[in-house]
Amino acid sequence: MPIDCEDQELLEGFLAETTELLEKLDDDLVSLEKSPEDAELMNRIFRSIHTVKGASSFLGFDLLVKVTHKTEDVLNRLRKGELVVTPEIMDVILEAVDLVKTLVADIKAGEIVERDIESTIAKLVPFLSMNATEATVLSAAPKAEESAPAASAQPAAAAPAAAQSAVPQVAPAAAKLKEPVPQKAAPAAKGEELADNSTVRVDVKRLDDLMNQVGELVLERNRMIQLHSDYQSGLDPNGFSDDFGKLSKRLNFVTSELQMQVLKMRMLPVEKVFKKFPRIVRNLARDLGKEVDLQIFGEETELDRSVVDEIGDPLIHLIRNALDHGLETPDERVAAGKPRMGTVMLSAAHEGNQIVISIKDNGRGINPDKIAQKAMDKGLITEEQLATMGSREILELIFLPGFSTKEQTTDLSGRGVGMDVVRTNIRKLNGIIEIKNELGHGSEFILKLPLTLAIIQSLLVEVEREVYSIPLASVIETMRVDQKEFHMIGGQEVLKLRDSVLPLLRLGRVFSCADAGNDRSTCYVVIVGVAEKRVGLVVTRLLGQQEVAIKSLGKFLANLPGIGGSTIMGDGRVALIVDPMGLIGGGEGTGVRKSAAA
Amino acid sequence: MQTTALKVKSEEYAGELIQLVSFNLENEEYGINVLMVREIIRMLNITRVPNTPHYVEGVINLRGKVIPIISLRRKFDLPEADYDKRTRIMVMEVVGEMMGFIVDEVSEVIRISEKEIQPPPPVVSSGIDQECMAGVINQAERLLVLLDLERMFTADERRMFSSVA
């Protein structure tokens, strides 16, 4: 049945609001289970469901009304202390919320599908010992008291809605629809976001700041035009250089401010991703029979929306792994002298131009011997290869597709895909993965990601007179070396770097640059990291660091191996951006051999 | 596929005048429907792009947009020649992408009647792929080859562009 709603705007408002409420609801419900005494939390949950119910009945979504109504009844009993919060009740409530989400998704898709809501409702009913009429009365009471303040807070909103419909009692319903608006004003500044990513909500203040900056820019432009005409008419040619210097300084200042502002608008708090984890962890822990305390830090850390969209999946896999592989069962933990409840710590923080996300558990840690054994059993590496590997390289084996320590595939893990997904996504973002591992005490996965994908800090290098730009996010260090220090191992040039052996790639050769006839024996090695791999890129000279805007090369030249895009330099020329992932990924097969050779 | 502009017009009324941009390549004259051409610019600094087909000269910065540049000489297997002050880049939109094509010289815009366009001769002497010849125009003192660059890239090449190149 297609949706028949006269007022499209009203429907959109309803969808936006409901989606937002539901997202928050999951989080709140899980917290409620932990602290059932929190009356404020309880009321907030109740209000959310109630708002959804009110709005959907106003718009005539009967299925939604039925489900939310029963859920509300159960919540009401919890609120009044007639029921006690138990995992069983929470399971049913969460299921009901999921159903509500499905129904809302149907409405969003523009088509109401007949869904089985009776089975979920049937699960809710046992928690209601009262009969239906009483329940209705109960829920009607708070409706009245809540609509009153809302209507006064939003009289303007209520008025047009009332005008639309001659029936007077619709007014409080419309007010309820608008009810969360005043609550939302505060979090809106944090960039509260809807599930659909096509629109952005921007804080008005940020927009004003942006306007200011643009005003400044216009001013500077006028000054530049003035300066030019002064110069042309021969007025004070001596002061020109001075004035021009000042002008370019100011322009520099204004544009970098502008850039920051625009960048900030694209930023979202990582909370958007993090907030779905308590629910996932709760369910997983129940399924696995483990006791888990999920601690989240730094959820207010902001990062680019493109990054936010991509890190969700890898994080889910890492958390799942932490719970499934990392943490022991309560009994094992007690036997090992640890507290029964395991801890998983999820944190995000800014570190320079990067964002660092870490997933840390205090479980059993990763046993390198076991990893090595499994990898050999599965035929991913040979014994000779293993013999040459350091412990770091062995840990990195878990990223190989097809690797799994599980004997049996369950619906949780065992297919050997998870870590490969992690690696692929992190690579896509030009990020780095580090593993810290302490056997018996847990492991930590650290993801280092660039703040944005549109403008990057880059290292400009010269390769046989051609200029290339390497994303600074993947550069670990640079060094000047004599080519005599290069060693040849199994057809692969390597460099001994402290205690490790670094495979080398000559950029000039990879990009088949014409030899510029440079016979100097010293050159520079730029050590880049992609996910867990490290490679040294051999270049002729280092030119310096610059912030560059990434420009696509277009469809025809997309997917060139080792080239991630291009950028325009100060002199208007195009410089290509090296894609370390493409370079290293291109030698996938040799990658293992390389580390084996090392 | 005929050049769309040509086709539509010929269906409506045969003998419609069309405008062609004529250019030179190794002393031969070619024409391209003016509607295809976005702009004609002088040679700029071209940045070489590694691991591309030989006829891809590189990329340029066209007012903030990076577009690929193709050498028509190389594409048509004509002998290499140095760029001089008459060398031009014709920027066109080919299959939805902006691209630049290097030609020896751009001469003029001419009007011809569609009736003058003859089918291409069966044997083509120069290296030009028969594929992208839309026809020839035989006027009293000149012979003009009408090109359809949309057809210059075979389906295979397009796929190659977008995958490995």
CB contact under 8 A, B51 and A552: no
Question: Do the interacting molecules here have an ipTM over 0.85?
Answer: no
Tell me which residues of chain A, numbers 464 to 493, contact chain B at a CB-CB cutoff of 8 Å: 466
Interval A415-458: pLDDT, tens: 566 787 788 888 777 778 888 888 888 889 988 887 666 677 88
Q: Which domains does chain B have, with CATH numbers?
A: 4-162 (2.40.50.180)
Site from A463, A466, A557 to mutate, B interface, most B CB atoms within 10 angstroms: A557
B163 to chain A: closest CA residue: A559
The mean of the pLDDT values for chain A is 75
Domain ranges of chain A: 8-188, 204-265, 269-450, 455-597
pLDDT in tens, A151-169: 344 444 434 444 444 344 4
Give residue B46's region: left, alpha or beta (phi > 0; psi -120 to 50).
Answer: beta
The CATH number fitting domain A269-450, selected from 3.30.450.40, 3.30.565.10, 3.20.20.100, 3.90.1170.50: 3.30.565.10
Say what the pLDDT of residue B106 is.
92
Query: Residue B130: pLDDT above 70?
Result: no
Whether B136 and B144 have beta carbons less than 8 Å apart is answered as yes
At A460, is the secondary structure helix, strand, or coil?
strand
Q: Work out the burial of residue B64: count CB atoms within 10 Å of its CB; fewer than 13 is exposed, 13-18 middle, 19 or more buried.
A: exposed
Q: Are A435 and A366 in contact (CB under 8 A)?
A: yes
A568 touching chain B per CB within 8 A: yes
Extract the tokens encoding A400: 């190989």
Higher pLDDT, B90 or A373: B90
Question: Cα separation of A270 and A349, whole Å?
Answer: 10
Instruction: Report angle CA B121, B123, B127 to the nearest 5 degrees.
Output: 110
What pLDDT does A257 receive?
Answer: 84
CA dist B165 and B157 (Å) reads 8
Strands A533-539 and A500-506: parallel
Q: Which CATH architecture describes the domain A8-188?
A: Up-down Bundle (1.20)
The pLDDT of A234-263, averaged and rounded, is 82
Nearest-angstrom CA–CA distance, A95 and B1: 56
Instruction: Name the burial class of residue A300, with classes exposed (0-12), middle (13-18) and buried (19+) by CB atoms within 10 angstroms of its CB.
Output: exposed
CATH of A455-597, one of 3.50.50.60, 3.40.30.10, 2.40.50.180, 2.40.50.1070: 2.40.50.180
Amino acid present at A554: G
Asked if B8 is an interface residue toward chain A (Cβ–Cβ < 8 A), one would say no
Does B110 have pLDDT greater than 50? yes
Residue of A nearest to B60 (CA): A574
Q: Taking CB atoms and an 8 Å limit, are A574 and B59 in contact across chains?
A: yes
- With a pLDDT cut of 90, the percent of chain B lying above it is 16
B52/A contact by beta carbon, under 8 A: yes
Task: Show which of residues 104-123 on chain B sit within 8 Å of chain A, judged by CB atoms.
Answer: none
CB contacts < 8 A (A, B): 81
Q: Provide the token pair at A146.
A: 């809540």
B157 touches chain A (CB under 8 A): no
**Both tokens assigned to A197:** 């990513």
Place of tokens 């815009």: B109
Helix count (H) and strand count (E) of chain B? 3, 11
Q: Does residue A149 carry a pLDDT above 90? A: no
A235 CB near a chain B CB, below 8 Å?
Answer: no
| Token output for B150 | 């949309």
pLDDT at A403 over 60: yes
**pLDDT value at position A452?**
65
What span, in angstroms and rounded, lies between the C-alpha atoms of A536 and A538? 6
Sequence-ordered list of residues with C-beta below 8 angstroms from that of A137, at least 6 positions apart, any chain: none
> Per-residue pLDDT averaged across B49-75, rounded?
88
Mean pLDDT of all residues in A565-592 = 71
B48 touches chain A (CB under 8 A): yes
Q: What angle do CA A559, A560, A561 make, to 5 degrees?
A: 105
Q: Which of A112-116, A551-555, A559-563, B47-51 has the lowest mean pLDDT?
A: A112-116
Long-range contacts of B82-87 (CB under 8 A, 24+ apart): B83/B43, B87/B42, B87/B43
